[in-house]
Copies of this chain bind each other. A is one copy, B any other.
Amino acid sequence: MTSAVPGTTHDDIAALTPARARERFRAGERVATSGWCAGFTQANLIAVPQQYAYDVLLFTQRNPKACPVIDVTDAGSVEPGIAPGADLRTDLPGYRVYEEGRLVAETGDAREHWRDDMVTFLIGCSFTFERALLESGVPVRHLTAGTNVPMYRTNRACRPAGRLHGPMVVSMRAVPADQVAAAVQVTSRFPSMHGGPVHVGDPAALGIADLARPDYGDAPVLADGDVPVFWACGVTPQAVVAAAGIPYAVSHAPGQMFISDVPEATWALA
């Protein structure tokens, strides 16, 4: 088999259909989804009781770089428009459960944590543009290393909405200095997947004290001459739920995304 994701050795997971990947996650596989199902859109998940849905939706409208919404369920529905037949409570590798802003559980099956009136928001994920980076010759270090992408809470406050407030979370990819411009160009074509970077070069400017110790995901992989490049991240709602002490929320586990049936090309600008 030829590699569906050039530059990686993960031929098997790259070639999977989204339906088959969701089946494996439903059966219990817990894994970061970078590199899975080449060509398909990956999404962050945040589900809240209906009484918080307006605040979340307004928050996403006011923070489109971190929270580009690609689907919203009706209250109580667990089947998204972007993957008919899927079950949002079981079809991700991992979930986190937040009560009063505290992380109280991490699980592979969120059914027992789901409430009847929950509204689920699916938010574009930067994993979706990683294949385009590879195809442009930009290495994706965590993908080659088989680790999760590193993610950090920053000192950048999001625009508040209703009861929601908190910091922007970013993902980081180390990019060779002479390919930073290409990385900006390629990812800017995917505004619904966070688009171009929010910052290039200086972790301290984002309030990141130690690049080696991310708040979510795995430690970064950097090569000599790499520049750290930061993209807004769909884990932001989790940091916001925590900062604002929202009574109840269920999210994906960072890096363990929902893989939809929508081709990544759907979101790409010319």
Contact = CB atoms under 8 A, between A and B. Distances in A.
Contacts of A53: 54
Contact of A61 (B62, B72, B162, B188): B72
Contacts of A54: 53-54, 57
Interface string A48-79: 00000110011001100000010010100000
Contacts of A61: 57, 61, 69, 72
Contacts of A57: 54, 57-58, 61
A10 B163 CA distance: 46
State the number of copies, please: 2
Contacts of A270: 188
Tell me which of A58, A74, A188, A270 has the highest count of chain B C-beta atoms within 10 A of its own C-beta.
Answer: A58
A162 B76 CA distance: 13
A204 interface: no
Interface string A159-194: 000100000000000000000000000001000000
A212 interface: no
Nearest to A188: B270
A269 interface: yes
A182 to B, nearest CB: 15
Interface in A222-237: none
A54 to B, nearest CB: 4
A206 B97 CA distance: 46
A133 B69 CA distance: 30
A58 B77 CA distance: 15
Nearest to A57: B57
Nearest to A53: B54
Contacts of A188: 270
Contacts of A74: 162
Nearest to A50: B54
A269 B188 CA distance: 10
A58 B69 CA distance: 10
Interface string A139-166: 0000000000000000000000010000
Contacts of A269: 269
Interface of A: 53-54, 57-58, 61-62, 69, 72, 74, 162, 188, 269-270
14 contacts: A53-B54, A54-B54, A54-B57, A57-B57, A57-B58, A57-B61, A58-B72, A61-B61, A61-B69, A61-B72, A62-B72, A74-B162, A188-B270, A269-B269
